[in-house]
Amino acid sequence: MARLGELLLSAGLLTTERLEQALRAQVMWGARLGTNLVELGFIDLDALSSALAQQHRLPAALARHFDKVDTELQQQLSPQLAEAHTCVPLMRVGPKRQIVLATSSPLTKRALATIAADLHVDPAMLIPSIAAELRIRYQLERVYGIARSSRFIRSPGKTIPPFPQFVIEEADPESDPDILLSPIEGGAPAHITAEADVTMPFLTKEAAAEAGDDDDTVSRPTPELLAVLQELDTSAPEAAPVDEASQRERRRYLRTIGDAEAPPEAPPQIGRIAIRRVAVALDPDQSEGSTLGQATRAIRRAKDRDKVADLAMSALFRFATSCDAAVFLVIRGQAATAWKGFNRSGAPTPELSVPVDQPGLVPRAIASNATTLAPASDLGPIDQLLLVSLGQTSGDLAVVPVSIGGTVMCVIAMVTATDAAIMTAESIAAATGAAFSRMIRDAAR
């Protein structure tokens, strides 16, 4: 199957430089490539949905289709299945009243059968279609109350600053890569929309055959069903008219702990959007190393961003014994958002965001590319909220930067015993930066 980036390049919707920039952003920010392309302003949601549709040989569910949703039909699908399969029913179309189902990824025949059973229809009555990940997650929140994680909510500020362009030289994986930064040239990127007069190429017959079509692969609609969705502009659901403006993605920004009105001594839900537990290996396998040196080498060699973070948190848990709680904060726009973390008490790690445009240890660490630290008694309002959000009320709050080529891309916020050494955390942060540097270098290949 052709890759999304290749399709966009061949259609002239994306340049090689912008694709590389989005791939590198994906290393740090996570989520799918298309999500990063949208956030960087290189493409809009409808153009992305159209490209994904061409990639998977499925219809595209665009904004105008979401404007015509049948709200009663949507409520017939259980929130559990909608979340499990990241899908939302849109409407009934055609003489057979088939159901258009918008998803973020192609569904297997088995998944479609499960959804059809929940909707009390035959699987042949479903017309699967593709929409951008960001749009589906927004719809899951709007229709079913399934909260988006902070990763999929807009960062504060009018736009997210362009992801840095890196000039990267080969480096020994045992040492920090030599990475130089160059400024973005040409100003803000042009915004590509689905209205562009560009035809996306379909997959080749060979690629389609390679995908197969058995019970464990995607179920694709017939050409006749594809034509049905193309006629949706003149179709309307039988449900009562819906205010189109209410269906469009409403601009909502990520709340940070700086937006919280509760006092510092409030419970740890301050700034929390959702709660998740992050697994920390208390009994690490042999590959993680039994010494700090072995652990940092394992971090440097890790090839997956989640593995890098898991190894870093595990090493911090095992070797920085004075650390009571810690969390990775990834910088995206004007906020640093929690990613992975732990609390020795076993309490869940909050999914929180810290403003980087307000005074505090996090913005100071970013600006100076150096560890910042202060005792609980000397913390300002934002830092006090961060301390409490991590489930602590005393000790030192330290922020250790993770940098690439001198630019801080994320930080480790940690609460330690008073006056405890933090050299172990700095070694782990350096190894983490080296791993991300290598991954960013490799992303452009």
pTM: 0.75
The pairing of strands 349-351 and 335-343 is unpaired
Q: According to DSSP H, which parts of 179-328 are helical?
A: 205-211, 223-230, 244-247, 292-301, 305-319
For residue 295, give Cα distances in angstroms to 177, 301, 305, 316, 403. 18, 10, 16, 10, 19
- Whole-angstrom CA distances from 268 to 64, 275, 351, 389, 435 are 41, 11, 11, 4, 32
Distance between CA atoms of residues 333 and 153, nearest Å: 11
Identify the H or E element spanning 342.
strand 335-343
How far, in Å, CA of 313 to CA of 402, rounded? 13
What is the rounded CA–CA span in Å between residue 268 and residue 271? 8
Give CA–CA dist 168/155, Å, rounded: 28
Spatial separation of the C-alpha atoms in residues 43 and 18, rounded to whole Å: 10
Q: How far apart are CA 368 and CA 132, in angstroms?
A: 37
pLDDT by position in tens, the chain (length 445): 789 999 999 999 999 999 999 999 999 999 999 999 998 989 999 999 999 999 999 999 999 999 999 999 999 999 999 999 999 999 999 999 999 999 999 999 999 999 999 999 999 999 999 999 999 999 999 999 999 887 888 776 666 666 776 555 555 545 544 444 443 333 333 444 443 333 333 333 333 343 343 444 444 555 555 555 555 543 433 333 334 344 445 555 567 787 754 444 433 333 333 334 444 444 455 568 899 999 999 999 998 999 999 999 999 999 999 999 999 999 988 899 999 999 999 988 888 899 999 999 999 999 999 999 999 999 999 999 999 999 999 999 999 999 998 899 999 999 999 999 999 999 999 999 999 999 998 886 6
Burial of 253 (C-beta count, 10 Å sphere; 0-12/13-18/19+): middle
Distances (CA, A) of 116 to 73, 110, 152, 262: 12, 10, 28, 45
Catalogue all structural domains in the chain, each as residue range(s) with its CATH number. 4-247 (no CATH), 257-443 (3.30.450.40)
**Residue 234 exposed, middle or buried by CB count within 10 Å (0-12, 13-18, 19+):** exposed
In 10 A of CB 274, how many CB atoms?
A: 12
Rounded to whole angstroms, the Cα distance separating 353 from 385 reads: 11
